[in-house]
Structure 1
Amino acid sequence: MTVGDHMTQLGSVMASAMFIWAIFKQWFPEDLGNHIEKYFQRLVTYFYPYITITFHEYQGDEFERSQAYMAIERYLSTNSSNCAKRLKANVIKDCKSVVLSMDDYEEVIDEFKGIKMWWTSTKSIPQQRAIFSYHADDEKRYYKLTSHRKHRDIVVGDYVQHVLDEGNAIATKTRQRKLYTNSKSENWYGNKRTMWSHIMFEHPSTFDTLAMDPNKKKEILNDLLTFSKSKDYYKKVGKSWKRGYLLYGPPGTGKSSMIAAMANLLDYDIYDLELTSVNDNTDLRKLLIDTSSKSIIVIEDIDCSLDLTGQRKKKKEDKKPDQKDPIRKKEKDKNKKKTEVTLSGLLNFIDGLWSACGSERLIIFTTNHVEKLDPALIRRGRMDKHIEMSYCCFQTFKVLAKNYLDLESHDLFATIDRMLGETKMTPADVAECLMPKSAEEDAESCLNELIKSLENAKEEARLKVVESEDNGGQKVQECDGSSDSEDD
């Protein structure tokens, strides 16, 4: 017999009792009736053999779904949906099978340590809402857990925690990583207001495919794995559980691929922060609060995102009046309207008090010109590890040859090794040469194309040096000529 059958029988008894009570109240004073009603309710509670715990989807006026509700939903979908008669089907993108969960007003039975528990999925409409103004979003969903009251300690102490732990473990196994970007206005996703929009993150880059010197790659890999397991250590030393990485080097050296490999290694979401879309420091803090733990916050090309370099030096120049130069004043006003994010606001974003609102996060800056950045922005403690993404070396080439051509050795490798030592070429350019352009191209033709590109790059570099020397000599002659005329 289910809990519903028990409730039906008890309901009939209660209805009869209430009918008798209604007649009884007509013949007794109101004060006496109130006292008798209290004792009557206690009597019903005493004989009622069940306890009920309710888990609401939303608590109060919060826009975010309850973590407990979502954990219970995942637990029941995995462990009890095969017992339910009415199910809801959800299809996840690129998922080959549907995900089933309990439909509304459905009841399932779960067992824990030999004890039976009844779960019911329920929804309600706020009474203050008029019928004609009803909307599906007004519905309040919740789960009801019912069990015999003699098992109260086990249910409250062990079973509920077991359900939450199992639900969170299922979420970790089945979670889909996301790539977020910020916009200039707030968005709504479901019932939650957010300043971020997202797509599913499906970048294939890993540390195995990353074109990089093996020793440097191993060093970065160990650093990331150590960070992901250092929750207690960061708490012990009194620091927020976060770490900053500065990736710098010429374009095409694999900075974005490195970030994707980090996310795939640690199973983190990525928040790609576009600073030019942020109005001011207040909005920057809101964006930080709206990020989740286990995430990477990325600001790419930070030297181009905002004019944050040398701001302290410019303060003295800004004190000069602009009234005599209306064009300069107009340009300053135009730039001010775009964004009011300051260097101070960005520093507080990285390691100020607000940065401690989450945990297990990486903050990554990328730049092509590290020398342009303010030293306060990239000092240790903010950008803890500086990683130079340099030009392609022979070890990097071997990784690319393995990825693109499935080659570990070849007679042309020695020539390529020598030429890479003489010429600067980015991994992106090398990869483009190694990628077959047609079905007729084989591994040897791709290697020959790379050698040809290296020869061209070497010749272009030589011509630039010669041109630079010629220009320098011409300038020296001009200077000598002008000084002679002065002497005359």
Structure 2
Amino acid sequence: MSSGEYERYVAMAATAAGAAMVLNGLMNELLPYELRDALTISASDVVRRLRARLSSTHTVVVDEAEGLAPNQLFDAARAYLASLSGASSAAPRLRASRVNEAQGILVTMDHGEEAVDVHDGVRYTWRLVSRDPVGNAGGSFAGQGSGAGHTGRRGPHGGCHRSFELSFHKKHKEQALASYLPFVVDAAKAIRDRHRDLKMHMIEYDAWTPVDLRHPSTFDTLAMDGDLKRSVMDDLERFVRRKDYYRRTGRAWKRGYLLYGPPGTGKSSLVAAMANYLKFDIYDLELTEVKSNSDLRRLLVGMSNRSILVVEDIDCSIDLPQRGDQGGEKRGKHSFTGGEDNEDKVTLSGLLNFVDGLWSTSGEERIIVFTTNYKERLDPALLRPGRMDMHIHMGYCSPESFKILARNYHSVDDDHTMYPEIEKLMEEVPITPAEVAEVLMRNDGANAALSDLVVFLKTKRGEVGANKGMKHREGNKVDKYEQTMVLYGCP
């Protein structure tokens, strides 16, 4: 290009710029501000639409809220992106938070940062943006620093609108909407189930009150026969993955367990281990706190899905007469009867209606657990198949259970020199896992703890020998080793 042509182009550009300035001045002078704003917005909209048509990228906007209701897809995307290892490491700016001391530090990307994910061979780019309709008139200010002007940190209640922008090649639009976004929702649900705080709900003022469930019992630490433990875990796993099976067969998606055996054999610990294994909340139903069948229904309907309803010591928490008892039935303040529902008290039929009647369909993926020390005292109506699907007998401490406790409390190997003597004494003396645990906790050293256990077992053997009730000893022998499970229904 010659110098003359260059000067001519510069002059034309200057003329155009001057004309634009003059035109802008005339518009400001002659046109009302409403019309000027409308023309400006229309021009911006035209440019945006033209850019979108020419671009090969498609963008889906996921707002934090839809009206006054939170957008579940936004929450799912936030949980999912926090789990991506590449999302945190690649972003130059991160956000860290911790709202519960029981959980670790949550690290997520900051406003304006991007995270890249690949799913089924398609590359997806996530970007978190914030807009302030007051301070920025609809403009994005994401990632503008951490000073006072970064009003995006005020949250949804401070006038700031947050959203995720999901970008991908436009030829993958159908795959993104039909496959990728549902995958994000399912992955986020699994993440929350793994990391959420478990709750135990108790009855207070005729309503459920939740408290944190911090019980440390797991199937690894549970002093229980290995085969029985594996059978319970397999049954639980089969139950939670068979939603379609229950729906196809027309059955309520629930499972009933009866745990019975002497006190101190680990029934409550097994319930806690089940909750920790499945990540289910526990609802502790104290029947003496319930005044009527209508109150019972209201409480049971108020339970969440993926939960465990527990009625501990059901044989002694209220009057629970056998329906075939002679001479009538006790009618205390809290009693069960086998007849029709009476709204003035809790009845057996009222409880059974929730266990396997019409009210049993009021929730999904629920487990019902009854515990008792005396199975023979329970009304047979509570025990039949379809109500209590598995009857699990928790017996006295066996050598296998004892070794689990010794590993838990003192990291003792299974071939310790004192084991033969202890196992021989346990053959002669019935002892519960709770008693063994109490003795093992008295000493910090393993040898001292095991020696103390030997002394305890010998003392108890002498007490049993002096007891005139030795005729029951043979029955105790069966109990102490027989941890069994009876399966009445297919899970």
Q: TM-score range by the shorter chain?
A: 0.5 to 0.7
| Identical amino acids, percent of aligned pairs | 38
Q: CA 1:108–1:274 in structure 2 vs 1: closer, same or farther (change >3 Å)?
A: farther
Partner Cα distance (2:175, 2:469) in 1: 81
- 2:182 is matched with which residue: 153, 161, 173? 161
Q: Structure 1: which amino acid aligns with 2:468?
A: R
Are 1:243 and 2:255 an aligned pair? yes
2:147 aligned residue: none
Q: Where in structure 2 are there 5+ consecutive unaligned residues?
A: 1-23, 37-41, 53-57, 135-155, 337-342, 473-491
Partner Cα distance (2:204, 2:270) in 1: 25
- 2:448 is matched with which residue: 426, 429, 442? 442
2:99 aligned residue: 91
- 1:451 is matched with which residue: 448, 457, 460? 457
Residue 385 of structure 1 and its aligned partner are, at CA, apart by 0.7
Q: Deviation digits for residues 119-146 of structure 1, max 9, x if unmatched?
A: 4356999xxxxxxxxxx97989763647
Residue 173 of structure 1 and its aligned partner are, at CA, apart by 4.1
Are 1:203 and 2:215 an aligned pair? yes
Residue 269 of structure 1 and its aligned partner are, at CA, apart by 2.9
- SS of the aligned residue for 1:181 comes to strand
2:370 aligned residue: 365
1:348 aligned residue: 353
Q: Structure 2: which amino acid aligns with 1:93?
A: E
1:212 aligned residue: 224
Q: Structure 1: which amino acid aligns with 2:288?
A: T
1:275 aligned residue: 287
Deviates more, 1:450-459 or 1:251-260: 450-459
Q: Deviation digits for residues 278-330 of structure 1, max 9, x if unmatched?
A: 34334433433443333322111112333343468699668xxxxxxxxx9xx
More helix by proportion, 1 or 2? 1
- 2:311 is matched with which residue: 275, 291, 299? 299
Q: Deviation digits for residues 45-76 of structure 1, max 9, x if unmatched?
A: 9768487645454776x7xx654342122134
Residue 215 of structure 1 and its aligned partner are, at CA, apart by 3.6
Q: CA 1:384–1:165 in structure 2 vs 1: closer, same or farther (change >3 Å)?
A: closer
Residue 175 of structure 1 and its aligned partner are, at CA, apart by 3.0
Are 1:427 and 2:433 an aligned pair? yes
Q: CA 1:277–1:443 in structure 2 vs 1: closer, same or farther (change >3 Å)?
A: closer
- SS of the aligned residue for 2:300 comes to helix
2:198 aligned residue: 177
Q: CA 1:271–1:66 in structure 2 vs 1: closer, same or farther (change >3 Å)?
A: farther
1:382 aligned residue: 387
Partner Cα distance (2:355, 2:335) in 1: 27
- SS of the aligned residue for 2:354 comes to helix
- SS of the aligned residue for 2:205 comes to strand
Are 1:143 and 2:163 an aligned pair? yes
Q: CA 1:67–1:370 in structure 2 vs 1: closer, same or farther (change >3 Å)?
A: farther
What is the aligned residue count?
404
CA contact (8 A) 2:291 2:344 kept: yes
- SS of the aligned residue for 1:247 comes to strand
CA contact (8 A) 1:184 1:279 kept: no
Partner Cα distance (1:100, 1:356) in 2: 39
Partner Cα distance (1:51, 1:117) in 2: 10
Q: Deviation digits for residues 442-483 of structure 1, max 9, x if unmatched?
A: 2552243133233233134336779xxxxxxxxxxxxxxxxx
Partner Cα distance (1:176, 1:418) in 2: 43
Q: What is the root-mean-square deviation of aligned Cα atoms in Å?
A: 4.7
- 1:120 is matched with which residue: 129, 136, 157? 129
Instruction: State the TM-score, normalized to the length of structure 1.
Output: 0.65
Q: Structure 2: which amino acid aligns with 1:74?
A: A
Q: Deviation digits for residues 227-275 of structure 1, max 9, x if unmatched?
A: 3443343334332332111011121111111112223333333222223
Q: Deviation digits for residues 418-448 of structure 1, max 9, x if unmatched?
A: 4434433322223333444365962552243
- SS of the aligned residue for 2:305 comes to coil
Partner Cα distance (2:157, 2:299) in 1: 26
CA contact (8 A) 2:221 2:408 kept: yes
- SS of the aligned residue for 1:197 comes to strand
Residue 109 of structure 1 and its aligned partner are, at CA, apart by 4.2
Instruction: State the TM-score, normalized to the length of structure 2.
Output: 0.65
Q: Structure 2: which amino acid aligns with 1:425?
A: I
Partner Cα distance (2:187, 2:237) in 1: 25
